[in-house]
Amino acid sequence: MLAENLQKVSGNIEAALAKRTGKMQSGDSVCLVAVTKNHPAEIISEIEALGVVNIGENRVQEAREKQEHIGHPGHWHLIGHLQTNKAKQAVGLFDMIESADSEHLLRALDKESAKLDKVTEVLLQINVAREPQKTGFLPEEYEAVLDKIDELPHIKIRGIMVIAPNTPDESVIHSVFHKGYEYFCDLKERMEDIDYLSMGMSGDYEIAVEEGANMVRVGSALFGARDYGNRGY
Ligand SMILES: *Cc1c(COP(=O)(O)O)cnc(C)c1O
């Protein structure tokens, strides 16, 4: 089942790439982050056996419990909001923090990474649609924080993360992802090593890829619906 789901998702990504109209060079590929939150740790080994190396989790505590169970295979991405007081744990558990959403948090990540003598890879999450219930930098906050990045040598900004509004109106989703792509292109001109535009989940990853995403975060389309009552460990 998992293998079939993966094949389907990969096929859909290829089809969406083919729909892109000259936005990126041909031969571009999309990095799949398998979102394993609220599923048992064992599925991480299963998806990795199928060749997927990027694992997405949205909570520090859950990632820690899973790593106690199965170790730290592959590349772990934090995709959920991170409280500053958990920055220390997060830099030890994750290879990339996709959900950096405040200057305060960036400073904490820098400080804790310095203590571990590492440089943590970070995506800046932008709340493109300005949804009040969502985290992420508002566009003006994002602009302001870019000037501060040079002061933080133990984090490395690698790109941008965007979550689209939960709406059946695909034109809204297209427009939000298109804006995300514009932010990405702009950031590429301003900074070195900007390589990732993380947009799209199970419901909208095809639109995201069409609009220029090169990293998608897919959970339920691979693993089925999440059972919040039983995480299986
Ligand atoms: C849960 C989650 C996903 C994956 O959601 P699915 O709809 O199951 O694919 C992607 N991104 C973020 C930020 C999430 O919290």
> Is the Cβ atom of 217 under 6 angstroms away from ligand 1?
yes
**Hey, which of 6, 35, 47, 79 would you mutate to test ligand 1's pocket, going by the most ligand atoms within 8 Å of its Cβ?**
35
Looking at residues 209-223, what average pLDDT do you find? Answer: 97
> Is the Cβ atom of 80 under 6 angstroms away from ligand 1?
yes
> Is the Cβ atom of 108 under 6 angstroms away from ligand 1?
no
Find all residues with CB under 8 Å of 210, minimum gap 6, and list them.
16, 19, 20, 174, 177
Q: Which of 45-54, 76-85, 208-217, 222-231 has the lowest mean pLDDT?
A: 222-231
Predicted TM-score (pTM) of this structure: 0.95
* Confidence at 225, pLDDT banded by 50, 70, 90: confident
Structural contact between residues 219 and 35, judged by C-beta atoms closer than 8 angstroms? yes
**Hey, which of 6, 33, 52, 58 would you mutate to test ligand 1's pocket, going by the most ligand atoms within 8 Å of its Cβ?**
58
What is the residue-averaged pLDDT of the chain?
94
Backbone angles phi, psi at 202, to 5 degrees: -50, -40
Centre of ligand 1 to C-alpha 218, Å, is: 6
| pLDDT of residue 94 exceeding 70 | yes
Q: Hey, what amino acid is at 115?
A: K
* Confidence at 233, pLDDT banded by 50, 70, 90: very low
Q: Which atom of ligand 1 is nearest to the CA of 201?
A: 9
* Confidence at 26, pLDDT banded by 50, 70, 90: low
Centre of ligand 1 to C-alpha 19, Å, is: 23
Centre of ligand 1 to C-alpha 150, Å, is: 31
DSSP, residue by residue, 79-99: -S---GGGHHHHHHH-SEEEE
Element (H, E) at 3: helix 2-19
> Is the Cβ atom of 201 under 6 angstroms away from ligand 1?
yes
Q: Which atom of ligand 1 is nearest to the CA of 35?
A: 4
Structural contact between residues 55 and 76, judged by C-beta atoms closer than 8 angstroms? yes
| pLDDT of residue 230 exceeding 70 | no
Find all residues with CB under 8 Å of 230, minimum gap 6, and list them.
none
pLDDT in tens, 188-209: 999 999 999 999 999 999 999 9
Helices (H) and strands (E) in the chain, counts: 9, 8
* Confidence at 20, pLDDT banded by 50, 70, 90: confident
Looking at residues 4-30, what average pLDDT do you find? Answer: 85
232: left (phi over 0), alpha (psi -120 to 50) or beta: left
Q: Which residues of 170-182 are buried (b: 16+ CB within 10 A; e: fewer)?
A: eeebbbbbebbbe
Q: What is the pLDDT of residue 231?
A: 47
> Is the Cβ atom of 200 under 6 angstroms away from ligand 1?
no
pLDDT in tens, 121-177: 999 999 999 999 999 999 999 999 999 999 999 999 999 999 999 999 999 999 999
> Is the Cβ atom of 218 under 6 angstroms away from ligand 1?
yes
